[in-house]
């Protein structure tokens, strides 16, 4: 039996209300996928498509690799925008989806509580 003893922090997706735990050495998106959770749009999972663009509203993340300027400008990065597949949570995080698929989340289509 495998016990995952890595330190973990919680990640909360504002639009959907989803909360899941993220290990310190995995990306926010990897953690969500590992747990079979939803909330952040999933694309290439490698920093190439930009669909997982999020705004870190509360908490801190650390980079797991370069973040493409095609998807996140330097100004956006300093304002807390990043790619969920390229960062790991350092402290508990609350984020908002802001990428290409933000609109359905804003309208509540992805949140069964709004139906
Ligand atoms: S999933 Fe493609 S950039 Fe994150």
Does residue 51's CB lie within 6 angstroms of at least one atom of ligand 1?
yes
Residue 4 placed within a domain: no
Q: What is the pTM of this model?
A: 0.85
Mutation to probe ligand 1, out of 30, 38, 44, 69 (largest number of atoms < 8 A from CB): 44
Q: Does any domain span residue 29?
A: yes
Task: Give the pLDDT confidence score for residue 10 in this predicted structure.
Answer: 96
Count of other CB atoms within 10 angstroms of residue 115: 6
For every residue of 15-30, DSSP letters joined together read: TT--EEEEETTS-HHH
Do residues 87 and 27 lie in contact, with contact meaning Cβ atoms separated by under 8 Å? yes
Torsions phi, psi for 106 (to 5 deg):
-65, -35
- pLDDT the model gives residue 114: 45
**Cβ atoms 11, 93 nearer than 8 A:** yes
Range of the domain at 99: 9-114
In a domain, 20, yes or no: yes
Residue 39, domain CATH: 3.10.20.30
User: Ligand 1: distance of its center to the CA of 66 in Å?
Assistant: 12
Rounded to whole angstroms, how far apart are CA atoms 100 and 22?
23
pLDDT digits (tens, 9 = 90+) for 105-115: 555 555 455 44
- Please report the pLDDT score of residue 7 as a whole number: 87
Q: How close is the Cα of 1 to the center of ligand 1, in Å?
A: 32
**Confidence label for 38 from pLDDT (cuts 50, 70 and 90):** confident
Q: Largest alpha-carbon pair distance within the chain? A: 46
pLDDT 10s digits, 44-96: 999 999 999 999 999 999 999 899 999 999 999 999 999 999 999 999 999 99
Domain count, the chain: 1
- Is 52 a pocket residue for ligand 1 (Cβ < 6 Å)? yes
């Amino acid at each position: 039996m495998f016990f995952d003893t890595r330190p973990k922090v919680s990640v909360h997706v504002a639009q959907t209300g989803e909360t899941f735990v993220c290990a310190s050495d995995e990306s926010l998106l990897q953690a969500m996928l590992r747990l079979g959770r939803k909330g952040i749009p999933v694309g290439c999972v490698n920093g190439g498509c930009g669909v997982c663009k999020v705004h870190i509203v509360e908490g801190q993340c650390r980079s797991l690799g370069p973040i493409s300027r095609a998807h996140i400008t330097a100004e956006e990065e300093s304002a807390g925008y990043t790619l969920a597949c390229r960062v790991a949570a350092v402290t508990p995080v609350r984020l908002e989806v802001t990428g290409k698929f933000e609109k359905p989340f804003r309208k509540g289509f992805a949140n069964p509580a709004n139906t």
